[in-house]
Amino acid sequence: MKLEKYQIESHNSELLARHQNRLAFVKSEVADAEGIIKKLADFQIAIPSWALGTGGTRFGRFSSGGEPRNIEEKIEDIGLLHQLNASSGAVSLHIPWDTVADTSGIKTLAAQYGLKFDAMNSNTFQDQPGQALSYKFGSLQHVDKAVRKQAVDHNIEVIRQGIELGSKSLTVWLSDGSCFPGQLNFRKAFQNTLDGLKEIYAALPADWKIFVEYKAFEPNFYSTTVGDWGQSFLYASKLGPKAYTLVDLGHHLPNANIEQIVALLLLEEKLGGFHFNDSKYGDDDLTAGSIKPYQLFLIFNELVEGMDARGMDHAQDLGWMIDASHNVKDPLEDLLQSVEAIMLAYAQALSVDRKALQEAQAANDVARSQEILQQAFRTDLRALVAEARLRSGAALAPLEAFRQFKAREELVRHRGSKTVATGL
Ligand code: AFD
Ligand code: MN
Ligand code: MN
């Protein structure tokens, strides 16, 4: 479904007067509003191809209709999001779910919607129909060399497909680990995994990166072979300069200080990218910013501080992706909400008075340091995010626009009410 320009314009004209009042207020509150708007307009968040359908749990899945039936329709959905918010200009594909016969056709379609291909994702956590060997007991860690080879070959195939599409990175998330004490020799599992990653690393083109994603638990519940940022950092360091750690916000043990992890990874030049989501308990994959918005802001605060300290380009130098699942909401509405929350946290972090914070820190002024951060978090900057969208030709209120244009009804009409997208 493609929106007409006039539709967005008429949506915006209805909201314009109110928006301008809000913007005037924010401009009176924030020092460099114009600079922030510019950075917001440049910032793009990749949408995962596996999150466009209704998510399931191991208890069930309640599909809501109009889900994309193939990669073309997934691209169309992300194109729609990008038309609405001008901040979702990339897609992250998952192979083999998104394997395409006609790569150039997909490239053309994506280009028509202004979309790029962000990180490619491999899948060695499921067995595919017709697959020779099983990943039941792991993939790169496996005791059987033949299984390890199959997993390595799959990752190399994912790189090959990514090259054709113009992607520049591979994200490897392994479900490898063990469920019971004694099941696994930890040292051997680590070594096998490292050896496999080295082979995959060797297949990377010169301008590619590999992201090693860690996760504390699930589906294995006793040990995970890339279980935390320290283990990921170890693999990434041993692999070389093209290897980085990927932080998925839902992959930590409860109460982990994620912002500190981010700061240290940036310091070591080993932070590669992000999977945004939110959680109450574990890898809940809820809408970004829906449960712990202050944490999201604190993470962005470290990102901005750490990237600026290294002179990094906020929009280009790290991989920004959503990794969420939606059991009870319209997936597209949920993704619009996530993008909005991420942009807002980024805006808040950009508005922090860095000089004042440095001075307060140097003077051990604890209360003042805290106040400076809270001031940024508590100032309503939504009008800055909306203004960045307006200037890019997108909608002032994307979620409202999605409903106003009856987008879901339109998708159901075209695709039917019983469609089920591939994904998690
Ligand atoms: C699952 C994993 C991990 C990974 C994603 C796609 O927990 O977050 O990035 O699948 O492979 O959500
Ligand atoms: Mn993830
Ligand atoms: Mn996850």
- pLDDT beyond 80 at 312: yes
Give 277-307 pLDDT, tens digit per residue: 999 999 999 999 999 999 999 999 999 999 9
> 424 alpha carbon to ligand 1 midpoint, in Å?
8
Residue 320: inside a domain, yes or no? yes
Domain range spanning residue 189? Answer: 44-348
Residue 34: inside a domain, yes or no? no
pLDDT of residue 330: 97
Ligand lying nearest the CA atom of residue 51: 1
Structural domain count, the chain = 1
pLDDT of residue 211: 98
- pLDDT beyond 80 at 367: yes
- pLDDT beyond 90 at 121: yes
Q: Give me the CATH number covering residue 172.
A: 3.20.20.150
> 283 alpha carbon to ligand 3 midpoint, in Å?
5
Which of 91, 213, 226 gets mutated to test ligand 1 (max ligand atoms within 8 A of its CB)? 213
> 368 alpha carbon to ligand 1 midpoint, in Å?
39
- Residues 179-187: what's their mean pLDDT? 98
Angstrom distances, CA of residue 181 to CA of 29, 184, 193, 221: 56, 7, 19, 10
pLDDT of residue 20: 98
Q: Measured on CA atoms in the order 272, 251, 116, 207, is the torsion positive or negative? A: positive
> 250 alpha carbon to ligand 3 midpoint, in Å?
6
CA distance 46 to 59: 28
Q: Is 283 in the pocket of ligand 1 (CB under 6 A)?
A: yes
pLDDT of residue 58: 86
> 50 alpha carbon to ligand 3 midpoint, in Å?
12
Q: Indicate the pTM of the whole model.
A: 0.97
Residue 411: inside a domain, yes or no? no
> 251 alpha carbon to ligand 1 midpoint, in Å?
9
pLDDT of residue 1: 87
Residue 32: inside a domain, yes or no? no
Determine which residue's CA is closest to atom 12 belonging to ligand 1: 323
- Residues 130-134: what's their mean pLDDT? 97
pLDDT of residue 421: 75
Q: Which residue has the higher pLDDT, 100 or 340?
A: 340
Residue 423: inside a domain, yes or no? no
Q: Is 213 in the pocket of ligand 1 (CB under 6 A)?
A: yes
Residue 6: inside a domain, yes or no? no
CA distance 275 to 150: 26
Q: Which atom of ligand 1 is nearest to the CA of 123?
A: 11
- pLDDT beyond 90 at 423: no
Residue 74: inside a domain, yes or no? yes
Q: Is 121 in the pocket of ligand 1 (CB under 6 A)?
A: yes
Q: Is 88 in the pocket of ligand 1 (CB under 6 A)?
A: no
3-state DSSP assignment of residue 326: coil
- Residues 169-195: what's their mean pLDDT? 98
Q: b or e along 259-272 (b: 16 or more beta carbons within 10 Å of the residue's beta carbon)?
A: bebbbebbeeebbb
Ligand lying nearest the CA atom of residue 55: 1
CA distance 266 to 271: 5
- Residues 242-247: what's their mean pLDDT? 98
pLDDT of residue 298: 98
Q: Is 173 in the pocket of ligand 1 (CB under 6 A)?
A: yes
Q: Is 276 in the pocket of ligand 1 (CB under 6 A)?
A: no
Angstrom distances, CA of residue 52 to CA of 44, 75, 223, 232, 350: 18, 10, 30, 28, 30
Which of 275, 278, 279 gets mutated to test ligand 1 (max ligand atoms within 8 A of its CB)? 275
Residue 4: inside a domain, yes or no? no
Q: Which atom of ligand 1 is nearest to the CA of 283?
A: 7
Give 341-356 pLDDT, tens digit per residue: 999 999 999 999 999 9
pLDDT of residue 287: 98
- pLDDT beyond 80 at 133: yes
Q: Among residues of the chain, what percentage have pLDDT more than 70?
A: 100
Give 26-65 pLDDT, tens digit per residue: 999 999 999 999 999 999 999 999 999 998 888 888 888 9
CA distance 306 to 327: 35
| Predicted confidence band of residue 18 (pLDDT cuts 50, 70, 90) | very high
Q: Is 248 in the pocket of ligand 1 (CB under 6 A)?
A: yes
pLDDT of residue 407: 97
Q: Among residues of the chain, what percentage have pLDDT more than 90?
A: 95
pLDDT of residue 335: 98
- Residues 130-135: what's their mean pLDDT? 97
- Residues 129-140: what's their mean pLDDT? 98
Average pLDDT for the chain: 97
- Give the list of residues 6+ apart from residue 202 with CB closer than 8 angstroms, or none: none
